[in-house]
């Protein structure tokens, strides 16, 4: 089964509808049975007013939300130290994508690529 992980840039594009192509791609992934995941910290970054973000909330309903658990703190922190970065959300995105072997849809390809490189992993990165 194909796996795709959304970073905040992908969700923001769908929420603002400034990129209908992103929304069409999401619907195609879901209709083809792709397993779409969103790390919980990513969802927290983009949810501001659920009553006014109907498209975002509908999109999230069709995704699996991956929680940030206690056991993630150590590996994500170590990854950030090794990469010389400090964004916990990016670290968790890269860590989760690596665990799942997922394609990452992100507007932050350079940072995600750097984090994956530190782990010795190559995964497809797509822009929203």
Supply the pLDDT for residue 68: 98
Q: pTM (2 decimals)? A: 0.94
Domain with 115, as residue range(s), is: 3-126
CATH number at residue 113: 3.40.50.1010
Supply the pLDDT for residue 18: 58
Q: How many domains does the chain have?
A: 1
pLDDT higher than 90, residue 6:
yes
Per-residue pLDDT tens digits for 51-109: 999 999 999 999 999 999 999 999 999 999 999 999 999 999 999 999 999 999 999 99
DSSP string, 19-52: -HHHHHHHHHHHHTT-EEEEEHHHHHHH-S-GGG
pLDDT higher than 80, residue 17:
no
Supply the pLDDT for residue 1: 86
- Residue 12, Cβ neighbours under 10 Å: how many? 18
Q: What are phi and psi of 65, to 5 degrees?
A: -95, 125
Give CA–CA dist 28/31, Å, rounded. Answer: 5
Per-residue pLDDT tens digits for 36-52: 999 999 999 999 999 99
Helix and strand totals (H; E) in the chain: 7, 5
């Amino acid at each position: 089964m194909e796996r795709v992980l959304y970073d905040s840039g992908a969700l923001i594009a769908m929420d603002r509808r400034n990129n209908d192509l992103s929304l069409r791609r999401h619907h195609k992934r879901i209709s083809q049975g792709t397993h779409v995941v969103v790390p919980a910290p990513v969802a927290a970054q983009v949810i501001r007013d659920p009553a006014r973000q109907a498209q975002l909330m509908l999109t999230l309903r069709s995704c699996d939300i991956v929680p940030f658990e206690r056991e993630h703190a150590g590996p994500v922190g170590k990854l950030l130290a090794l990469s010389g970065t400090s964004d916990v959300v990016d670290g968790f995105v890269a860590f989760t994508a690596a665990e799942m072997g997922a394609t990452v849809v992100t507007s932050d390809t350079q940072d995600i690529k750097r984090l994956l490189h530190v782990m010795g992993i190559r995964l497809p990165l797509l822009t929203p």
